[in-house]
Structure 1
Amino acid sequence: ILEGKSYRLKFPWVGVVNRSQENINKNVDMIAARRREREYFSTTPEYRHLSHRMGSEHLAKMLLKHLETVIKSRIPGIQSLINKTIAELETELSRLGKPIAADAGGKLCTIMEICCLFYQNFREHLDGVRTGGDKVYNVFENQLPAALKSSLLKLMEADGYQPHLIAPEQGYCRLIESTLVTIRGPAEAAVDATHSILKDLVHKAMSETPELKQYPALRVEVGNAAIESLERMRDQSKKATLQLVDMECCYLTVEFFRKLPQDVDKGGSAMQSIFDRYNDSYLRRIGSTVLSYVNMVCATLCHSIPKSIVYCQVREAKRSLLDFFYTELGKLEQKRLSALLNEDPTIMERRSALAKRLEL
């Protein structure tokens, strides 16, 4: 103004009369000060024609109107931000889970719900909905056949025939039995491999169940119960699977030998050496017969062992992994149930803070 410059104002100017230091010192009230301000603008010739838009009261009305306009223009954005924040808070609150019930029935119900979520994740791994269950079939399709083939190779590489110790029936039985016994190793390995895969799936299902992370004590108990259940199933599976092998060892399939071509006994001199009677071709035929029989048994076991494992381990894991845990759970007192639901204090504080923010 002193330099004579002019500026285009974005908003109209408003003149006001400030309180003097004397008025402030004398504690003149604001009502009297505003009245004097109005009198000044209405009686002063220079401002009389502008008095309707002069003074602190008019300035307050203009600022209020401007503030109202700005707020209205930003209400949609503010509403959107509030809705977004509410959605985020509700999502996090849902992830943290519900507060723990006070009564024993509520606690038991909470534990059962969490166990069901874990069990569902575990079954989805076995059913192929989630990854990992296909490793069980890899044991049946690759590991077991390869192990059985390895046993056959050891049989084919065996040497050191002692012809004078071989009698037709007893020799066959001893050779076949000693060979079939070696199948116990691959059978046990298949059971153990399946057990290891199921254990991995339990750990994976636990890590995919956020509710278990909320209660560390319950997570440990559920994990231990699942592993103990799998170990019982493994022992039962191993017993059933080895019985299949032992059945093949203790009784040979007679029909197999009936179909073999029989030599006509041509007799011979009493002085004929046993080494001449059981010559090299005869002994080789014994080896070939034993190998053929073992091949037949291996082919049978290659199908029956997986069935036994699936029945005793995979099927039972899907049906009754936590059954024993559920039985023991129903016997627990409220104090023990509370210990299982001993939530992380950090999570409890976070849930409480989120609930207060949502209430606001």
Structure 2
Amino acid sequence: MDPNFIYHVPLIQHNANRRSRMEQLIPMVNRLQDVFTTMGARFDLDLPQIAVVGSQSAGKSSVLENFVGRDFLPRGSGIVTRRPLILQLIHSPHGEYGEFLHNKGKKFTDFNAIRSEIEDETDRMTGTNKGISRVPINLTVFSPHVLNLTLVDLPGITKVPVGDQPADIETQIRGMILEFISKDNCLVLAVTPANSDLANSDALKLAKEVDPSGLRTIGVITKLDLMDDGTDARDILENKLLPLRRGYIGVVNRSQKDIDGRKDIKAALAAERRFFMTHPAYQHIADRMGTAFLQKTLNLQLTNHIRQCLPQLRNKLQGQMLAMQKEVLEYKSARPDDPQRKTKALMNLVHEVGKEFQSALLGSNLSDVNLQVLTGGAKIANIFHERFPFELVKIEIEDKDMRKQIVIAIKNIRGIRAGLFTPDEAFEYVVQIQIAKYREPVIKCVDLVITELLSIIHQVTERMVRFPHLREESERLITQYLREREQVTKTACLEYVQFQLAYINTNHEDFIGFANAQQRSANESKRRLANQGQVIRKGWLRIQTGGSFLKAKDFFFVLTTESLSWFTDQEEKDKKYMMPLDNLKIKDVDSGIMSRRIQFALFSTEPK
């Protein structure tokens, strides 16, 4: 017998026990996640987790289904994942089934039923109009074929609204994703298809915003089998192009044709393995590619990540426990059936919700301000000050086009007649068309504000999560009130636009018609007539022509505010010449001590 065997056995047992304890870390965090979700936002902790981020059709759902080995996620066109899905995978030798946190105790052994339940629960919260919600769905899958793992499947990044989705759907999804991946304890699984430009990857761009150094980001490259002939992703997978600290892993998912043909996932995983083993660009790294290696890597990295976060997590949890124990002592002597106590608790809860709503509108404290996206009142202010003016600019017409429309309108109103005066109807008609275009951006602005207010309401009522009926009824009443005020607001806005259409003020200084021009012309004429008779100087003036003093002649001149005129005599009947004094001014000139003549000079006010 090996004499060192006596030392090896305790070491092996120690390592086995250590691995066993490490394997329990992920289920422990899963239980904490379920408890905090049930108890509400006030018990929320920054738990270690992995968030799956990617654009639509990047292959996120296929990667998750490959982990489980079953088809269980909704599929279709447009946005399919419309609520965050917290997927907890638990290695269990006792069969395959799933459980939902909102339907505790019911085991789903049919994975098609799991898909239907996800769809129904999504529609229950968001409706059937492709809307999204930040409230997650918690699903736990028990299976002997999975490793302990927790993933958060987030909605795919989209840029074009579908159906009744709001126009800012891209901003909403982006805000939701950043809300998850901005947390320091969240690892980011950035999924990018290989047949797209990696430099323009939406997933990597978002990950870089919150993780500039790439410490928390894991890259996943899908659709390697769909790349053009003669191209490969070798530099990416070897972490040479846009390197990440945790590197990249390539996978090959089932194609849409395989999914429609119900190709077995096990067969697909075997085909994936053959692809990497036989492809000349990936043979040397085949052991570090594929779904199986990705799942092992994520299990190991999440376990290590949880171990690193445990001290900080323990301190926060102990702090919340002390706060809860203090609160329990306050209720220790209270009677649960005391009506006054119930009423006081209800009023305190409603008051807290009101304070949070007010805080969301007026602004957050610096300690908990969101540094990634605009929220609450800031987003509403952005709608008024940036989004609404932008919508107005889009409907403005060029001056050239407006003049053209006015000319055409004038001609159409005159018909075959040659008019002397311009008809006001032409101007009014063109202006009314422009004013009527304001209806759409005004209503759109109201819709955006209402959407944000509803989002704030749903967020602040999370304090009532322990009382689901109270929360549901509160949201219903507040939403009903908002919808009523929405209709009143839209009616008032449309009436204001209608007021502007009812009367066109052509005397406004900004109007391009002739009323102001005629008025200004009349005022100018009155001013000239008033100043025409004001004589400044009179007297004899000697005008010399040429260089000879003998050719000089004397004339009687009259200098007024408008002109300089000279006559043959003082009777001012025979006018020889009149020189207008436009842009000219008069000033006295020093004639010297010995001279008795009065001298003056005329000069121009315009620069040469």
TM-score normalised according to structure 1 size: 0.43
Higher helix share: 1
Larger radius of gyration: 1
Higher strand share: 2
Q: Greater relative contact order (Cα 8 A, min sep 6): structure 1 or 2?
A: 1
